[in-house]
Amino acid sequence: MEERHLTCIGCPMGCQITVKMEGGEVKEVTGNTCKRGDDYARKEVTNPTRIVTSTVRVTGGHLNMVSCKTKTDIPKGKIFDIAKALESVEVAAPVKIGDVVMANVCDTGVDVIATKNIRAV
């Protein structure tokens, strides 16, 4: 049986998780202290994903940048494509938390949404 040792990134606790695998299939997850850890471990050894956070430019706002994130996690291999795609995005103030900054980013089916309120000035 193959064993993989992971550090959970679900929250800052950073639980040390051991995943037992056989033939590419997860047999057992131990060391996690919550359900999130179990989910993370199963995903990490089969199809690792991440939330991407970044910023895009805003025009007419009280700040020049608005922070944003992928609404859900995306395949780890797409992180750089998404960062690149966001470089050219520009939105107009006002912006509210949850507003879609870019829909279906890099064909992941996931929207990038604003994580900060920006006032129009």
Provide the minimum distance between the beta carbon of 78 and another protein in the complex, in angstroms, as a whole number: 12
Question: Per rule CB under 8 A, is residue 79 in the interface with another protein?
Answer: yes
* Exposure b/e, 19-32, CB count within 10 A at least 16 = b: bebeeeebeebebb
DSSP bridge partners of 26: 21
Quick one: which segment of 17-25, 102-110, 113-121 binds another protein (CB under 8 A)?
113-121
Provide the minimum distance between the beta carbon of 29 and another protein in the complex, in angstroms, as a whole number: 16
Count of C-beta atoms within a 10 Å radius of residue 88: 9
Q: What is the 3-state secondary structure (H, E, C) of 60-104?
A: CECCCEEEEEECCCEEHHHHHHHHHHHHCCEEECCECCCCEEECC
**Which residue in 3, 33, 83, 92 binds another protein (CB under 8 A)?**
83
Q: Which residues contact 78 (CB under 8 A, 6 or more apart)?
A: 106, 108
Provide the minimum distance between the beta carbon of 5 and another protein in the complex, in angstroms, as a whole number: 11
Positions 11 through 70 that interact with another protein (CB under 8 A)? 11-14, 16, 36, 50-55, 57, 62-65, 67-69
Reported as type and span, the H/E element at residue 33 is: none
Nearer Cβ to another protein (22/59) = 59
The residues of the shown chain that bind another protein, judged by CB under 8 A, are 6-14, 16, 36, 50-55, 57, 62-65, 67-69, 76, 79-80, 83, 97, 115-117
